[in-house]
């Protein structure tokens, strides 16, 4: 197998690994997969955590290992890199569409550094209404906040800008 | 990935400094985790748990790096679970008990208003690893600051009772805010090397953030008086020992246990 073929095979394997907490997004959609290099006969993969304390990272690493083995790749090294820090700007367009289809509002706009007194205006992923309100800054996972649509009345998750 | 440090002489200072940051993150993370199962409402249950996760995640990266700098084969777990209170280097502010929700919120505001600009400044460190950890932590601290700020405003500008409690919390915790901006030989060394930011330079931004929230919350800023100090040299309040007794129980009872 050529280097390019091996790399492509590893990429396809990684694209099968999904976020255990948002199972419609794979590692490529999320931007968690940072790099794949081939060093000799070894596949070197860099992944980056979304949040420092994201409990899904260990599971993702394990799943990635299983996916690589299932693809017949035995020699690999998975490294966690912190820099540059993951940002929701890395979510792919495909990833954003999948999120919305799944009922999670994708991050609105680019990540900003503003801290105090900032609030995002979010459209409802179900009916599209902009009449929404934030119920809680932190939702079911660190990366999400909980919102409610005032038009259709449905609560929904919002994938926060980060 | 490994960081850079300028010469062997800087190594003990860098390790000490990294441990301080790790200890503050772990102890505050543990304090917040004590709320899980006890928070005043479900949303806060999730929020406090998430804040705790961020902080413990930051602590893990920092401990792993401190262990790597030390180079004696200790792990992040050894550093977290096998050091006693006198060896901990965290800020006194973060070990203060949760008290009521107002106290926890005020503590979070006072810490995060510092942590946010601190991590931003450290992200420009000449030490690559600290810079990388800081760049992640800065984003997390921004949320923590916003969250604590919004809650303190609700409490301060809420009922008579919530106002009274919020003011009491600020008054109680204020003497622990001086230590945050102290510098000692370790910091002076690393500041000179371009590795650590000067905490005193972050004070104006901290002051602005805290004052903005206090004003909006219709609370009174406590006056600067005598300030507590000692966390950096291992002189802690009695509370840290109790916290560690809970945090470290398993590794003390079953040394080396893993799963």
> What was the pLDDT predicted at A117?
61
> What was the pLDDT predicted at B4?
46
Q: Are residues A74 and A128 in the same domain?
A: no
Q: Are residues A78 and A9 in the same domain?
A: yes
Q: Are residues A72 and A98 in the same domain?
A: no
- Does residue B182 have a pLDDT over 90? yes
Q: Are residues A67 and A9 in the same domain?
A: yes
- Does residue B3 have a pLDDT over 80? no
Q: Are residues A46 and A114 in the same domain?
A: no
- Is the minimum CB–CB distance between A101 and chain B shorter than 8 Å? no
Residue A147 · residue A134 · CB < 8 Å:
yes
Query: Which domain range does residue A114 map to?
Result: 91-159
Residue A64 sits in a domain of what CATH number? 3.30.300.130
- Joined tokens for residue A36: 């794949």
> What was the pLDDT predicted at A154?
92
Section B120-142 average pLDDT: 96
Q: Select from A137, A136, A158 the least CA-distant residue to A88.
A: A158
Nearest to A52 among B43, B58, B128 (CB): B58
| B209: DSSP letter | H
Q: Which of A65, A86, A107 is the last residue of a domain?
A: A86
State ipTM.
0.78
Whether residue B83 has a cis bond before it, omega within 30° of 0 = no
Section B151-170 average pLDDT: 98
Query: How many structural domains does chain A have?
Result: 2
Q: Distance (Å) from the C-alpha of residue A34 to the closest C-alpha of chain B?
A: 14
* Host H or E run for residue B145: helix B128-156
The Cα–Cα gap between A10 and B132 comes to 26
The Cα–Cα gap between A92 and A98 comes to 10
Contact A82 B1 (CB under 8 A): yes
The per-residue pLDDT of chain B, averaged, comes to: 94
Residue A118 · residue A109 · CB < 8 Å:
no
Contact A83 B58 (CB under 8 A): no
Contact B57 A51 (CB under 8 A): yes
Question: Which B residues 203-242 touch A at CB under 8 Å?
Answer: 209, 212-213
- Joined tokens for residue B44: 């806060």
The Cα–Cα gap between B154 and B217 comes to 7
Residue B93 · residue B172 · CB < 8 Å:
no
Contact A52 B142 (CB under 8 A): no
Q: Give tens-digit pLDDT for B243-256.
A: 999 999 999 999 98
CA atoms within 13 A on the CB side of B16: 17
Q: Are residues A44 and A109 in the same domain?
A: no
Q: Distance (Å) from the C-alpha of residue A146 to the closest C-alpha of chain B?
A: 9
Q: Which of A41, A57, A86 is the last residue of a domain?
A: A86
Q: Select from A139, A140, A95, A104 the least CA-distant residue to A123.
A: A104
The pLDDT profile of chain A, 162 residues, written as one tens digit per residue, is: 789 999 999 999 999 999 988 899 999 999 999 999 999 999 999 999 888 888 888 899 999 999 999 999 999 999 989 888 899 999 999 999 999 999 999 988 665 555 566 566 788 998 989 899 988 888 777 788 889 999 999 999 998 887
Q: Which of A45, A65, A86 is the last residue of a domain?
A: A86
The model's pTM is 0.89
Domains of chain B, with CATH numbers? Answer: 10-253 (1.20.1260.10)
Residues in Cβ contact with B199 at an 8 Å cutoff, skipping those fewer than 6 apart: B114, B118, B180, B181, B182, B183, B187
Q: Are residues A152 and A99 in the same domain?
A: yes
- CA angle A95/A100/A101 to nearest 5° reads 95
> What was the pLDDT predicted at A2?
87
Task: Assign A53 to helix, strand or coil.
Answer: coil
Contact A118 B55 (CB under 8 A): no
Q: Are residues A77 and A9 in the same domain?
A: yes
Residues listed for chain B: 259
- Is the minimum CB–CB distance between B39 and chain A shorter than 8 Å? no
Q: Are residues A30 and A77 in the same domain?
A: yes
Q: Which residues of chain B lie closer than 8 angstroms to A160, CB-CB? A: 143
- Is the minimum CB–CB distance between A85 and chain B shorter than 8 Å? yes
Q: Select from B196, B128, B142 the least CA-distant residue to A51.
A: B142
Contact B1 A118 (CB under 8 A): no
Q: Are residues A72 and A108 in the same domain?
A: no
- Is the minimum CB–CB distance between A162 and chain B shorter than 8 Å? yes
Residue A154: CB atoms within 10 Å: 15
Q: Are residues A17 and A78 in the same domain?
A: yes
- Joined tokens for residue A21: 């907490």
> What was the pLDDT predicted at B183?
95
Q: Are residues A11 and A71 in the same domain?
A: yes
Nearest to A82 among B136, B141, B149 (CB): B136
- Does residue B37 have a pLDDT over 90? yes
> What was the pLDDT predicted at A24?
92
Residue B65 · residue B129 · CB < 8 Å:
yes
| B115: confidence class by pLDDT, cuts 50, 70, 90 | very high
């Amino acid at each position: 197998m050529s280097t390019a073929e091996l790399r492509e095979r590893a990429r396809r394997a990684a694209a099968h690994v999904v976020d255990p907490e948002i199972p419609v997004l794979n590692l490529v959609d999320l931007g968690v997969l940072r790099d794949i290099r081939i060093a000799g006969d070894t596949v070197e993969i860099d992944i980056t955590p979304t949040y420092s304390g994201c409990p899904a990272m260990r599971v993702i690493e394990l799943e990635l290992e299983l996916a690589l083995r299932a693809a017949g790749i035995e020699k690999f090294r998975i490294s966690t890199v912190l820099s540059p820090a993951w940002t929701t700007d890395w979510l792919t367009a495909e990833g954003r569409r999948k999120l919305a289809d799944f009922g999670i509002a994708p991050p609105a706009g680019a990540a900003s550094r503003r801290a105090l007194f900032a609030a995002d205006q979010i459209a409802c992923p179900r009916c599209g209404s902009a009449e929404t309100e934030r119920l809680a800054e932190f939702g079911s996972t660190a990366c999400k906040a909980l919102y409610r649509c005032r038009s259709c009345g449905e609560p929904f998750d919002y994938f926060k800008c980060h | 990935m490994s960081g850079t440090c300028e010469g062997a002489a800087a190594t003990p200072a860098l390790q000490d400094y990294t441990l301080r940051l790790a200890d503050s993150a772990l102890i505050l993370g543990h304090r917040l985790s004590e709320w899980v199962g006890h928070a005043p409402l479900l949303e806060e249950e999730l929020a406090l748990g998430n804040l705790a996760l961020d902080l413990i995640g930051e602590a893990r990266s920092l401990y792993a790096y401190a262990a790597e700098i030390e180079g004696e084969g200790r792990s992040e777990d050894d550093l977290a679970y096998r050091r006693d209170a006198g060896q901990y280097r965290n800020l006194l502010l973060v070990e203060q008990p949760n008290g009521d929700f107002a106290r926890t919120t005020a503590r979070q505001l006072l810490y995060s208003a510092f942590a946010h600009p601190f991590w931003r400044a450290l992200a420009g460190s000449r030490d690559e690893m600290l810079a990388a950890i800081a760049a992640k932590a800065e984003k997390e601290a921004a949320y923590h600051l916003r969250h604590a700020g919004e809650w303190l405003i609700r409490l301060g500008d809420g009922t008579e009772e919530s106002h009274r409690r919020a003011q009491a919390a600020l008054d109680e915790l204020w003497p622990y805010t001086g230590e945050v901006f102290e510098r000692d030989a370790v910091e002076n060394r690393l500041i000179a090397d371009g590795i650590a930011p000067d905490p005193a330079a972050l004070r104006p931004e901290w002051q602005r953030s805290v004052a903005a929230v206090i004003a909006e919350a219709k609370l009174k800023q406590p006056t600067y008086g005598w300030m507590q100090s000692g966390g950096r040299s291992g002189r802690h309040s009695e509370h840290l020992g109790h916290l560690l007794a809970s945090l470290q129980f398993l590794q003390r009872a079953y040394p080396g246990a893993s799963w």
